[in-house]
Amino acid sequence: MKRSLLFEPVKLGKLWLPNGVLMAPLTRLRAEADGTPGEMIAKYYEQRASAGLIISEMTVVSAKGQAYLNAPGMYTEGHRKGWRRVTDAVHGAGGRIFSQLAHAGRISHPSLLPGGAIPVGASAVRPAGHVHTRSGSQPYVTPRALEIGEIGGVVKEFADAARMAMEAGFDGVELHSANGYLLDQFLRDGTNWRQDGYGGPAKGRARLLLEVVEAVTEVWGAGRVGVRLSPFNGFNDMSDTNPRETFTVAAEALSGRGLAYLHIFEPVQEAWLTPRLRQAFGGALVVNGGFDVETGNAVVEGRSADAVAFGVPFLANPDLPERLRAGLPLNRPDPTTFYTGGARGYIDYPVHSPIV
């Protein structure tokens, strides 16, 4: 019987992974009020340690970059200790885990930020929609455009968080330049209307991402840093007039910088830009966007990608790689529990128990 390359060992940067079934970053909002991950989060990731690589949920690099209540952080000693429990649990179960580092930018609210500060963004472009706060649902506010003199501080926040992630025992970090958060806000022209060196053409809009990549790679060294992009994702009211050009320029600029991988979110049914980005980047590529075992096998065996990140299936199936490998039925996820807190719908999904 032919063995699928999806379940064979794969090298991403400095890491040899036992399989190409990666766990995509998935926001679950189970941290403590101050952003510290507790024992339940450690259990959740430990249960999923059979993934070739776990990419953690979005973890903010600063109190000024918070997006959601009960989302985890990476900027206090308590955060470091909490994440150390997580990485110890994952490594004890034989797994590997990257920390996904992010800054929410405009996708926040004054009630979530220190001193009731106005959220920052690439430009003063207000997002449509609402955010959940302690006083209920509130409309997003118009952000304040980051000033040139503040940008170095944001870069430093990413570098400091990357250093803390190393101290917390992670195997590497992924920079979240997707889904409408700050790095993505700078990259796409729907949210970046700047006329300085961080705006204008795609090369200028990619500048902040490249400066963060450089700073974080100095912390981790080559082969331990990944980047996530989402060219067509309209989540968080995002848009770009020419995603083909924008993201090709970004992929070319990221090439040759010693990254472990480039992680592209593009729905499998519409994935026409990913092959171009793979060529432009020239390194290891991880794809994500509604893949199943058949389409995942096809993309890896066709050499269009090196690994596939699975999102929602991992929520309900802690043992997903084995279920996919053996053709076993999958548990059905319960969307009503995705962000509710507590153990239900989080650490209570069963693993497959063979009949003996």
Q: pLDDT for 20-30, tens place per residue?
A: 999 999 999 99
Burial class (CB in 10 A: 0-12, 13-18, 19+), 97: buried
The closest alpha carbon to 90, from 47, 150, 121, 124, belongs to: 47
pLDDT at residue 2, as a whole number? 56
Residue with token string 């470091």: 80
pLDDT band of residue 140 (cuts 50, 70, 90) is: very high
Q: Is 181 a catalytic residue?
A: yes
Among 68, 181, 346, 349, the one annotated catalytic: 181
Is 90 exceeded by the pLDDT of residue 3?
no
The rounded distance, in Å, linking the Cα atoms of 52 and 85 is: 20
Q: Answer for the pair 133, 109: CB distance below 8 angstroms, yes or no.
A: yes
pLDDT at residue 270, as a whole number? 81
pLDDT at residue 354, as a whole number? 62
Domain map of the chain by residue range?
5-309
Give residue-wise pLDDT tens across range 248-301. 999 999 999 999 999 999 998 888 999 999 999 999 999 999 999 999 999 999
The closest alpha carbon to 246, from 206, 279, 208, belongs to: 206
Q: Which CATH class is domain 5-309?
A: alpha beta
Over its C-alpha atoms, the chain yields an Rg (Å, rounded) of 19
pLDDT band of residue 1 (cuts 50, 70, 90) is: very low
Q: Any idea what DSSP says for residue 67?
A: -
Q: Which residues pair with 101 in a beta bridge?
A: 59, 175
pLDDT at residue 356, as a whole number? 39
Give residue-wise pLDDT tens across range 114-129. 999 999 999 999 999 9
DSSP string, 319-346: THHHHHHHTPPPPPP-GGGTTS-SSTTT
Residue with token string 């902040």: 208
pLDDT at residue 353, as a whole number? 75
pTM of the model: 0.97
Helices (H) and strands (E) in the chain, counts: 11, 14
pLDDT at residue 147, as a whole number? 98
Per-chain mean pLDDT for the chain: 96
Q: Residue 13 region, left (φ>0) first, then alpha (ψ -120 to 50), else beta? A: left
Q: Answer for the pair 68, 140: CB distance below 8 angstroms, yes or no.
A: no
The rounded distance, in Å, linking the Cα atoms of 65 and 306 is: 32
Give residue-wise pLDDT tens across range 81-107. 999 999 999 999 999 999 999 999 999
The rounded distance, in Å, linking the Cα atoms of 335 and 316 is: 10
> Could you tell me which residue, 354 or 329, shows the higher pLDDT?
329
Is 70 exceeded by the pLDDT of residue 355?
no
- Mean pLDDT, residues 60-70 taken together: 97
